[in-house]
Amino acid sequence: MDIAIVHYNTPELTQALVRSVRKFSPSCAVTVFDNSDARPFRMEGVTVIDNTAGQIIDFAGFLSQYPDGIPTASKFGSVKHTMSVDRLFDILPGGFILLDSDILLTQDVTCFADAGAAWAGTVRANRWVKQEKIPRLLPMLCWLNVPLCRKHGIRYFDSERSWQLRPGMYWDTGASFLADCDRAQLRGKSVNIDRYMVHYGHGSWSKTDPVDWLRENKQFYL
C-alpha cells in the first residue's frame, strides 16, 4: 500500500509522520512530494519527488496566468497542494492513502484502502468560511482510488474550482474531487479520521514552533 505526503518546509513534522507510519502501518511505502523553497525533506527509505525548483510543477508560472487571484496566508497553499496531489495520480497510479504532513497516526490506516470505493475519509465543509460552504473530502487523511477515478475521468485538481484562484472561488482542497465523484455516482466510504490521527494544523505556514506539540505526542512516532 502506498502512502503519499505533500511536504513544504517542515522536515521535523514530516519526519515524525513517516516514523508514525512506520510504527502503525509498517507495510506501507511512503512517497513525499517536496515543494519546499527553504527546508527540503530527506529521509532514508522514503521516495522523494523533488519539486523544490519547480521541475515537476512550475507553480510561479501557473499562478502568473491568474493575476486576479487572491493570495491567502499560505500563498495559494490549497492550489499548490491540490496540484501536487493531482500529479501524484500519475506517480502512484494504483491509488494511495494521502496524509497531511502535520498529522501523526494513532493507529493503522491500511483499512482506508478499498478497491470498491472511490475514496475513504471524512467529508466536511469549512465551518469558518462565511461564503459558500462547499463540502470536501478532508485531505488530512484519506484514501484516493486512482484507478477507479481515472476510469471516470476524475482528477484531483480543477483550475475552475480552486481556492481563491479567482475572486469568489471557494473550492478548498478535496472539494472538486468530491463533487466529481458524486456526479459520477461513485461510492465513497465515510470514516471518522479523528479516530486515526492527531492534527497540528496549518503546519506548512504556521509561524508557531511545533516542537512542543511533537513532544506531547511522541508516543505516536517513537
Q: Which range of residues forms the domain containing residue 16? A: 2-220
Number of structural domains found in the chain: 1
pLDDT at 198: 97
The CB-side HSE value for 63 (13 A sphere, CA atoms) comes to: 19
Ramachandran sector of residue 164 (left: φ over 0; alpha: ψ -120 to 50; beta: rest): left
Cβ(41)–Cβ(32) under 8 Å?
A: yes
Residue 91, pLDDT above cutoff 90 = yes
Distance CA 11, CA 64 (A): 28
pLDDT at 207: 59
Strand-strand pairing, 119-121 and 141-144: antiparallel
pLDDT at 97: 98
Cβ(122)–Cβ(143) under 8 Å?
A: no
pLDDT at 150: 97
pLDDT at 169: 83
